[in-house]
Chains A and B, each alone.
Chain A
Amino acid sequence: MDADRIGRTLARIAHEILERNRGVEDLALVGIRTRGVPLARRLARAIREIQRRDPSTKLGVDPGSSAVDIPTGALDITLYRDDLMRTAVGAQPVIRRTEIPFSIDDKRILLVDDVLYTGRTIRAALDALIEFGRPKAIQLIVLVDRGHRELPIKADYVGKNLPTSVSQSVQVHLTEVDGRDEVEILES
């Protein structure tokens, strides 16, 4: 996927979010560190853009109000991983800040990650999120679904289904983190 394709994919997902949730009421975006965070921010921008162009999408919002910003947070799931402490040698994974500056109680949380693979990251993220409160619902958004699930987890919004073999790896590059937008499959 190139930059243009990533942009159009995110715009499509933004439309799907508005359609499925009938507006933005109670929605909040939470990106999983690292690359889920810029994706969540881009989706928030894309949704605001759609509302600005087409006020009819502002369902559930005061008719007079301008476009509504969806609260956006960042989640680091390292401390919830199921593979911590399993190796006898080697440094611990680096932990970054979790920043969820709003209450998730009774919100519909849109959880965002770049690649869905085994499902273990999402399992950890669900555990982490629940500690912040009791959301009304959690929906999962991924840019790429590469298959090979090891847990019963399924995304609600998928940018692209990318059939891969286990020996391959999928690298998502985003301008905010890597200086360019690209999704590539690497043979190992």
Chain B
Amino acid sequence: MKKDLLGIDDLTRDEIYLVLDTAEAMREIGQRPIKKVPTLRGKTIVNLFYEPSTRTRTSFEIAEKRLSADTLNIAVATSSVLKGETLADTAMNIEAMAPDMIVLRHASSGAGHLLSRICRSRIINAGDGMHEHPTQALLDAFTIREHKKRIDGLKVTIVGDLMHSRVLRSNVLLLTKLGADVWVSGPPTLVPTGIERLGVRVSPAIDEAVTGADVIMMLRIQQERMHGAFIPSLREYFNIFGMTKARVARAKPEVIIMHPGPMNRGVEIASDVADGPYSVILEQVANGVAVRMAVLYLLAGGADAD
């Protein structure tokens, strides 16, 4: 593994499988009476979150604590960022206190790469703007593999706001690297041009895209990133692209429905689908801890000499 985890782009096929296999072992720790191993004792990990997050931040923090690392959370609302400090200055000040790793979430694409250049600490990207969210894609792959026993050759359909989604980008990079047949569907205003160059099939017709799917992954309509009229209304969006029971019925009988959260019920996904028998949404959350433990463990050692 490299020094940092900035994106799926940095990982080889073998490294992805190493993370998934390690996560398999890490998951067992969460089922013990004492859910803690001493592995990262004495390591300091800073969770630096410039965007609101419940799931990802909690998941990282639980993962860090289960590995016995000392963790601290910096939420921007209570930090000097409000006083006008730049990301680079904040990072260098944190760096001066010699943490071992920084987990960064930031609204700007490439924020992790900036930190990677100026910090000795290992950087884990927990979501940078519209670029990547690698640990989400890894936990999605872990969840898919658990249900389907493989990833190679599966039809995975990703539906929703393709434009603003870092989850989409990381998932497409990962799933195509492992040989899945990835379809994407969404309103034309939210399909980035050139997305097919990533090796996915684009279909504006959701019914075609979900037909015969092994996995359906819904993406959130990210209203906070939409500065303009991308969709006429949320209700119309639901009618045309929302995941309903009728649409699920077009997929394979043993299809799994995924969502990275937070869900907008009644916008991209109907409540009876989100809570239905095919939904693995809460399993994704549970697996997130094991996958992040694996990433922390694998990055905590020495970086490959390269």
Contact = CB atoms under 8 A, between A and B. Distances in A.
A25 B33 CA distance: 24
Interface size class of A (residues with CB under 8 A): 20 to 34
Interface in A77-101: 79-80, 84-85, 87-92, 94-99
SS class of chain A's interface: helix, strand, loop or mixed? Answer: loop
A55 interface: no
Interface in B25-40: 25-26, 28-29, 32-34, 36-40
A95 B297 CA distance: 10
B10 to A, nearest CB: 15
B24 A79 contact: no
Contacts of B84: none
A100 to B, nearest CB: 9
A90 B305 CA distance: 7
Nearest to B18: A94
Given A92-B297, A92-B300, 10 more contacts: A79-B37, A79-B39, A85-B301, A89-B303, A90-B302, A94-B21, A95-B297, A98-B28, A131-B33, A132-B34
Contacts of B303: 89
B195 interface: no
B304 interface: yes
Nearest to B100: A85
Interface residues of B, number: 27
Contact of B298 (A80, A88, A92): A92
Interface of A: 76, 79-80, 84-85, 87-92, 94-99, 127-128, 131-133
Contacts of A133: 33
Interface of B: 1, 18, 21-22, 24-26, 28-29, 32-34, 36-40, 43, 67, 297-298, 300-305
6 contacts: A79-B39, A89-B303, A91-B302, A91-B304, A127-B38, A131-B32
A151 B101 CA distance: 33
Nearest to A33: B25
A133 B302 CA distance: 33
B25 A90 contact: no
Contact of A99 (B1, B21, B28): B28
Nearest to A131: B34
Contact of B33 (A76, A96, A127, A132): A132
A104 to B, nearest CB: 10
Contacts of B24: 97
Contacts of B26: 95
B186 to A, nearest CB: 38
A93 to B, nearest CB: 8
Contacts of A85: 39-40, 43, 300-301
B22 A95 contact: yes
A29 B236 CA distance: 61
Q: Which of B33, B38, B300 counts the most chain A CB atoms within 10 A?
A: B38
